[in-house]
Chains A and B, each alone.
Chain A
Amino acid sequence: MLEFLVAPFEFGFMQRALVGGVLVAAICALVGTYVVLRGLAFVGDALAHAAFPGVVIAYLLKGNIYLGALLFALATALGIGLVSGRGRVSHDTAIGILFAGAFALGVLLMSMIRGYSVDLFSFLFGNVLGISERELWLVAFLGGVVVLTITVCYKELLLLSFDPTVAEAMGYPIRAFNYLLLALIAVTIVISIQTVGIILVVALLVTPSATAYLLTERFFRMMLLGPLLAVLAAVIGLYLSYYLNVASGAAIVLVSTCVFFLALAGRRLLSHGPSRA
């Protein structure tokens, strides 16, 4: 049994994948607390897709793809904030227009490259097994920035999420906070691209936090439990990926999805089963 657990991590790439997967999963679930409570899943998915042209352009220019992704995700976050609530365009319509357009631009650019499929395919679906040490440091640094920001603004972000009207009445700059939250989501997405890819990152943002939301009634506990469940999914997903030889990002996401449905079933049983007299 021990051999079974230890064997995969005799390889350097698996060690890096473990560190990377665990870090990314934990940070996603931390930020995911806000995504779930404020109903920003669609926004998160949109930011991830909008980062794609940034990746392609950086790839074409042989620049840093993380920087490209970050610029595009942040610009889209800003765009969503600016466009929504103007005239007839509703919030989710604005998001739909922006992210689909940006993603199409990415696909268009990608189709111009000869022999593109392998590298860029991995950005769409992720490959944590291919994460480099340099990328790990980047994930750790940007993840640290996210954690620090949340620590400093913990109370304010909680109040903003719970009761924006009263937050504003107390004098908090809620527009700035909304942008900050979008920026946090954007950064989180960027550091997740190598691990789970653009298409699946929304699952890491939403699923573990949603599971935690089923299991606790306290914000702080949700913020601890979400990352814990995410780390568990990342580790189990990696083992599955190694032993069954399946895509790592998809494996992590599917484990997370299973845990969610287990929690949902458990909750149903607890609230309806024994107490139903």
Chain B
Amino acid sequence: MTETKTWRYCLEVRDLDAGYNGTPAVEGITFAIPPGQMVGVIGPNGAGKSTLFKAILGLIPHQRGEILLHEAPALGQRAMMGYLPQLEEVTRDFPVSVADVAMMGRYPRIGWGRRPGPDDVAAVRQALDRVELLGQAQTQIGKLSGGQQQRAFLARVLAQDPHLLLLDEPVSGVDTTTQHAIFALLEALRDTGKTVVVATHDLNCVIERFDQVLCLNRRVIAYGPPREVFREDILDRTYGHHLMIVRVGDRRIVVADEHRH
């Protein structure tokens, strides 16, 4: 966090078409996120949330449009983007410890042919401490539970210390206590100026904790603060009539309507 310049936007996506084999899975995507915001990306399965993330990271090609990180093409600054995939496709038995995995986040900083220095070791320690895995630092990664593994991969993102965090359903399959701990951690990161983008199905959590919501269903249906975006017509267009909003006093609660399928 040495940069002195304050950017208007951390991430800008302009008129993006992206998808495998030349068939766009998301189309005409345009939005911009100022630094230090926490943005929830919501939408039904198949809406293109993962595709959008992968396109931003350059993991899949985009057919049209621009992706800018701090006003420059994002593709050239990928080490500044931390990524937590929805499903880590790793071999559980791979001979690395939890600390080794977190250290991988430091690799772009360490550079070729060099060994991790004291700074890197300290960063890894801090990252593991924040996800409460310091006690398991020397455990082989496959010996952790699913939720712990997810936290270990989050620690890798933290150790990387990126400007932008792209987290694809970081709390799926994680118990409620851990979910709250992870969201509290993300809020703390946001408060230090990081930009945090999270794909999630937990809409109530989005209402309570996020600054902005991007409603996605192949296109951007709406983008704005939760209070403005969480309207029945917008959610209808995003999810196709499977959701409704219930007002409880001052709170709005989103309920999935299973019967209207």
Binding site for B on A (CB under 8 A): 37, 151-156, 158-159, 161-163, 165-166, 168-171, 213, 216-219, 221-222
* Given A37-B94, A219-B95, A170:B78 Cβ within 8 A: yes
Provide a sorted-by-A list of 9 A–B residue pairs whose CB atoms are within 8 angstroms. A155-B104, A156-B112, A158-B104, A163-B88, A169-B57, A169-B59, A170-B78, A213-B95, A218-B97
* Identity of the chain B residue whose Cβ is nearest the Cβ of A162 in the assembled complex: B94
> What does DSSP make chain A's interface, helix, strand, loop or mixed?
helix
Contact of B104 among A153, A154, A166, A222 (CB under 8 A): A166
Interface Cβ pair total, 8 Å cutoff: 72
Contact A171 B78 (CB under 8 A): yes
Contact A162 B85 (CB under 8 A): no
Interface residue? B172 (CB, 8 A)? no
B: number of interface residues (CB 8 Å): 28
**Which residues does chain B contribute within 8 Å of A151, judged by CB atoms?**
113
Contact A217 B140 (CB under 8 A): yes
Contact A166 B85 (CB under 8 A): yes
Contact A170 B113 (CB under 8 A): no
The 0/1 profile, CB within 8 Å of A marked 1, for residues 89-124 of chain B is: 111001111001100100110101100000000000
Binding site for A on B (CB under 8 A): 57-59, 77-79, 81, 83, 85, 88-91, 94-97, 100-101, 104, 107-108, 110, 112-113, 140, 156, 160
| Assembled-state Cα–Cα distance A221/B138 (Å) | 14
CB distance from B197 to the nearest CB of A (A): 13
| Assembled-state Cα–Cα distance A101/B156 (Å) | 44
Contact A159 B107 (CB under 8 A): yes
**Which residues does chain A contribute within 8 Å of B77, judged by CB atoms?**
171
Query: Contacts A168-B57, A213-B95, A217-B140 given; 17 further ones with Cβ under 8 A?
Result: A151-B113, A155-B107, A156-B107, A158-B96, A158-B104, A159-B104, A159-B107, A162-B94, A163-B89, A165-B89, A166-B83, A169-B58, A169-B59, A169-B81, A170-B108, A171-B79, A218-B100
* Given A37-B91, A170-B78, A162:B97 Cβ within 8 A: no
| Assembled-state Cα–Cα distance A195/B123 (Å) | 46
Contact of A222 among B78, B90, B95, B156 (CB under 8 A): B95
CB distance from A39 to the nearest CB of B (A): 9
Contact B90 A162 (CB under 8 A): yes
**Which residues does chain A contribute within 8 Å of B91, judged by CB atoms?**
37, 162
| Assembled-state Cα–Cα distance A158/B59 (Å) | 19
